[in-house]
Amino acid sequence: MARRDYEIDELISAEAIAARIGALGTEIEAAFGDTEKLVVVGLLRGSFIFIADLVRKLDLPVEVDFIEASSYGNAMESSHDVRILKDLRGPIEGRDVLLVEDIVDTGLTLRHVLGLLRSRRPARLETIALLDKPSRRQVDVRATWTGFEIPDEFVVGYGIDYAQRDRNLPYIGTVRLP
Ligand code: 5GP
């Protein structure tokens, strides 16, 4: 495998992520305690590790589905044209839904996907984002639960990529270009 031509500085350790997800799991369980079945919707691809860890903290009947929206491509700049690349497999009308996102940055992706899911009339729709960069927000949208607020830095790891690399890092780090 080719060496990286950039450095990664650890921002959030694997242990800190695990501890935070444990606490979030307790809050979500309490919030959805009376659900018949919760549909946990992962927003691909950056949420795939987060959702895997999160659902294992939920002692609730859950179903897992995925949706994919276009975002960064291979660059560090946000594309503002949000498109759905892969839709849900199942209906969510009348269901309790938890949308799981990796990062809320400008907020455009979350707003778009929330609008789409809301149009399908779920009984309840909440969101959780592992990371939030409030200083970058362009639209007024916020996740119900957030793992960590982070500064305006490009991050990788724990499911989040830089040009499709580094999703397999167990921690979250910032990219430092030479
Ligand atoms: P937004 O629509 O809120 O601007 O962007 C959300 C999406 O942009 C995230 O789901 C994520 O895929 C991508 N994104 C935002 N910030 C970063 C970052 O620091 N690193 C990476 N790899 N992707 C990011």
pLDDT at 72 > cutoff 70: no
171 located within any domain: no
- 79-95 pLDDT, tens digit each: 567 899 999 999 999 99
Distance 105 CA to ligand 1 centre (A): 6
Q: How far is CA 18 from CA 49, 151, 165, 170, in A?
A: 11, 20, 22, 10
Domain extent, residue 103, equals 14-154
Q: How many CB atoms lie within 10 A of CB 50?
A: 25
114: left (phi over 0), alpha (psi -120 to 50) or beta: alpha
Q: In CATH, what number is assigned to the domain containing residue 50?
A: 3.40.50.2020
Q: Is 68 in the pocket of ligand 1 (CB under 6 A)?
A: no
Candidate from 101, 103, 132 with most ligand 1 atoms within 8 A of CB, to mutate: 103
Domain count, the chain: 1
* 161 C-beta closer than 6 A to ligand 1: yes
Domain-embedded: residue 7: no
Which residue has tokens 């990219």? 175
* Residues of the chain above pLDDT 70, percent: 93
Per-residue pLDDT tens digits for 12-45: 999 999 999 999 999 999 999 999 999 999 999 9
Residue 126 within a domain: yes
Q: What is the pLDDT of residues 133-157, one digit of tens each?
A: 999 999 999 999 999 999 999 999 9
H-helix or E-strand containing 109? helix 108-118
